Amino acid sequence: MVADVSENLVAITTGFTGKEVLLFGATDGPGDIAIVVKGPARDITLRKKGRVGPVWVNTDSVTFRDVPSFYRIASSRPLEEFAPPNLLSRFQIGTENLRLETTGESDITPENLIEYKKALVRLKTEEQLYDEGLGAVNTTSNRLFRTRILFPANVPTGTYFVEVYLFRNGTVAAAEIVPFNISKIGFGADVYDFAHDYSVIYGLLSIILAAAAGWAASVAFRRA
């Protein structure tokens, strides 16, 4: 099996509103295709609010390690029709099969951990970074396949991996991993890098510019 994407670099510019990338490939014969798209792994902390007297405060928190910042799946048929549950779990196909490990909180119960995991998937889905629905993989002549991957405007930057699995007779007959990058370019990227590399200077410049803009506006209105 071979697979590739239409663009190895998705460029995020000032007017970026989202991007659709074509994934295509071919197999050596018939079979079912399952595709997993994963964004850069990052640690994510979830906090749970509780009522303490008259106010709501953060009472508990859990930090998950190496969480995919983006996650989408697509398949040629419904997964349950050709992929055994043990293989879906092994290859982490489907949000319910993501192995989300914590940084070592010992006082959290298994029930609460499941609740936090569901909350994480729900929040990512609301941000359009996770999609629990299946995208369609179109096949031709039992050999060629293709699908389109939609990345929203708020897609994180970094290296992405597209995992392609060929299922036959309830087993994984072949697998392919296709990497590509999503990166900021142009003036917006320069401002972003400057803000992160020189945060103190960036903050001071922002205050100066805001003050100058306010002064200029006040002068303009007095003249008017």
pLDDT tens, position by position, 189-207: 445 544 555 566 757 767 8
If you search the block for the tokens 């392609």, which residue do you land on?
164
The model's confidence at residue 43, banded by pLDDT at 50, 70 and 90, is very high
**What's the confidence (pLDDT) of residue 204?**
74
Q: At what angle do helices 187-197 and 199-223 cross, to 10 degrees?
A: 120
* Spatial CA neighbour of 136 closest among 40, 23, 31, 29: 23
**What's the confidence (pLDDT) of residue 61?**
81
Tokens of 161: 């991996």
User: Which of 11-20, 81-90, 96-105 has the largest mean confidence?
Assistant: 81-90
**Taking 70 as the threshold, does the pLDDT of residue 152 lie above it?**
yes
State the Cα–Cα distance between residues 175 and 33, nearest whole angstrom: 10
Higher model confidence: residue 105 or residue 95?
A: 95
Higher model confidence: residue 207 or residue 121?
A: 121
CB-based burial of residue 34 (10 Å sphere; 0-12 exposed, 13-18 middle, 19+ buried)? buried
**What's the confidence (pLDDT) of residue 175?**
96
**Taking 60 as the threshold, does the pLDDT of residue 1 lie above it?**
yes
State the Cα–Cα distance between residues 10 and 51, nearest whole angstrom: 44
Tokens of 185: 């370019």
State the Cα–Cα distance between residues 66 and 196, nearest whole angstrom: 21
If you search the block for the tokens 């306010």, which residue do you land on?
214
Mean pLDDT, residues 167-192 taken together? 81
Tokens of 94: 């489907």
Residues 6+ apart with CB under 8 A from 210: none
